[in-house]
Amino acid sequence: MNRGITTTILHADRQSAVEHGATHKPVHVSAAYRYGDVNDLIGVFQGTMSGFSYARQGTPTTAALENKINLLEGGRGTIAFATGMAALTALFTTLLQQGDHIISSQYIFGNTNSLLMTLQRLGCDVSMVDATDVRNVAAAVRPNTRIVFVETIANPGVQVADLAAIGELCAQNGLLYVVDNTISTPYLFRPRDVGAGLVVNSLTKYIGGHGNALGGAITDTGCFDWSRYPNIYDIYRKGDPATWGLTQLRKKGLRDLGASLSSDAAHRIAVGAETLALRMERACGNAAALAQWLAEQPEVARVNYPGLPGNPGHERATQLFAARRAGERAPRYGALLSFELVSELDCLAFMNALKVVILSTHLGDTRTLALPAAHTIYHEMGPEKRAQMGIADNLIRVSVGIEETEDLIDDFAQALQYAAAR
Ligand SMILES: *Cc1c(COP(=O)(O)O)cnc(C)c1O
């Protein structure tokens, strides 16, 4: 991709001869697709011809979105799913089997953690390691290890994984490296640049960006040699090995599991994605300003944000999330931060005093959202696991939106004053 990501996204549909010269790909609602010649229908089923058969396996609208995500990630192919969790479930259940071992970062999305526990019950071994240091990943590698899974910037502690070194380790050991890029987005970072074979994005978050549609995607970057992967079924070991992984994911993961993205959601996500770069610039700028301001307040005990020079992930983030094209933009550190108030202050009373900021789960919205992490998204896993993941009881997670910076700081300031005066 030689053009910038916004130009690319805005003009992606046009490149594929959109019906009647429409500038948006239309929302196709047909469940079934007809063919005048039965040989064409057969060709589509057998994969010798491209086309659509039944909407569970995709529609022209979801395919147009897949193309855009693929351009963003610089992939060789992308599959869209109904949600980010559907993409992750499809990935793990399709590519792993009983007795396989997976190494995962211990700093991951709560529901992904829960999914890995399900895989364990189904007979996979799971090692959770501190992936901010490649040595912990290397120490966990076993003969039956198949997948190494990490998130770029973790939620809510914002730890930055040792992304480049883990990529090298996976390449040396022939392991499939899977990176969840949801929090950084392809605007900040492309996992293919560190050798990831598969990239997962929750499209519900920054890519869709407006909190009005659910979606997920898996992108094959082309970095992984599928002919070395033992779990490809014989029926998919045909033709170019570069296609094997995604073919199996589309058949076993999308078609059979059935968590398909609707055309309607695909359209909304595609419209949202047009402004990904603009929204990320603004939200990341807001997050940096807010993190800086919070760090200066005596009522705040600790701020987690990779953009702060004191953060353990700061240097790595600066290196990884710097502009791909020189001069394109300043280094950005994401729009997610978390912080703890000093122990004398009641974090719940503080949150109740917020007026602009919305008390809500979800992240990557245009609106700023806050929630008490230990009481909500990390409640189910219990105190021991929370301690392992570094989630303090009074930790407040903030997904920073695109409001005017001063309005956000004013809101946090008045809520801090309120909590301190109680
Ligand atoms: C939200 C999220 C997911 C799951 O995505 P959904 O679209 O909500 O299913 C996966 N990974 C990360 C890092 C997320 O933040």
Q: Give the distance (Å) from ligand 1 centre to CA of residue 202.
A: 5
Residue 246, Cβ neighbours under 10 Å: how many? 22
Nearest-atom number in ligand 1 for the CA of 203 is 7
Q: Give the distance (Å) from ligand 1 centre to CA of residue 205.
A: 7
**Which residue is closest in CA terms to ligand 1's atom 4?**
84
> Which of 69, 113, 150, 205 to mutate to test ligand 1, by most ligand atoms within 8 A of the CB atom?
205
Q: Give the distance (Å) from ligand 1 centre to CA of residue 115.
A: 12
What are the structure tokens assigned to 331, written together?
A: 């280094």
Cα separation, 211 vs 369, in Å, equals 11
In the sheet that 77-81 helps form, which strands lie side by side, from edge to edge?
Answer: 77-81, 216-220, 198-202, 176-180, 145-151, 101-105, 125-129
Residue 226 DSSP class:
G
pLDDT of residue 422: 87
Per-residue exposure over 264-303, b if at least 16 CB sit within 10 Å of its own CB, e if not: ebbbbbbebbbbbbebbbbbbbbbbbbbebbbebeebeeb
Q: Give the distance (Å) from ligand 1 centre to CA of residue 344.
A: 33
222 closest CA partner among 185, 183, 177: 177
**Which residue is closest in CA terms to ligand 1's atom 2?**
202
pLDDT of residue 127: 98
**Which residue is closest in CA terms to ligand 1's atom 7?**
84
> Which of 65, 81, 85 to mutate to test ligand 1, by most ligand atoms within 8 A of the CB atom?
85
User: Are the C-beta atoms of residues 111 and 85 closer than 8 Å to each other?
Assistant: yes
Cα separation, 64 vs 263, in Å, equals 10
Q: Give the distance (Å) from ligand 1 centre to CA of residue 85.
A: 6
Cα separation, 171 vs 156, in Å, equals 29
Cα separation, 1 vs 82, in Å, equals 27
User: Are the C-beta atoms of residues 372 and 308 closer than 8 Å to each other?
Assistant: no
Q: Give the distance (Å) from ligand 1 centre to CA of residue 36.
A: 41
> Which of 108, 109, 262 to mutate to test ligand 1, by most ligand atoms within 8 A of the CB atom?
109
Length of the chain: 422
For the chain (422 residues), the mean pLDDT of every run of 10, in chain order, is: 84 84 93 96 93 96 97 97 98 98 95 96 98 98 98 95 98 98 96 98 98 98 97 95 97 97 98 97 97 98 97 95 67 95 95 98 97 91 84 95 98 97 90
> Which of 111, 159, 214, 338 to mutate to test ligand 1, by most ligand atoms within 8 A of the CB atom?
111
Residue for token pair 């610039």:
281
pLDDT of residue 323: 62
Nearest-atom number in ligand 1 for the CA of 87 is 9
Q: Give the distance (Å) from ligand 1 centre to CA of residue 265.
A: 16
Cα separation, 419 vs 352, in Å, equals 9
Q: Give the distance (Å) from ligand 1 centre to CA of residue 294.
A: 26
> Which of 83, 202, 206, 360 to mutate to test ligand 1, by most ligand atoms within 8 A of the CB atom?
202
**Which residue is closest in CA terms to ligand 1's atom 1?**
202
Question: How far from each other are the two terminal CA atoms of the chain, in whole angstroms?
Answer: 55
**Which residue is closest in CA terms to ligand 1's atom 5?**
84
Q: Give the distance (Å) from ligand 1 centre to CA of residue 260.
A: 16
Residue 101, classified by CB atoms within 10 Å of its CB into exposed (0-12), middle (13-18) or buried (19+), is: middle
282 closest CA partner among 153, 364, 159, 403: 403
Q: Give the distance (Å) from ligand 1 centre to CA of residue 89.
A: 11
pLDDT of residue 1: 47
Bond preceding residue 143 cis, omega within 30 of 0: no
Residues contacting ligand 1 via CB (< 6 Å):
83-85, 109, 112, 151, 155, 180, 182-183, 202, 204-205, 214, 216
Q: Give the distance (Å) from ligand 1 centre to CA of residue 83.
A: 8
Question: Residue 38: CB partners within 8 Å, gap ≥ 6?
Answer: none
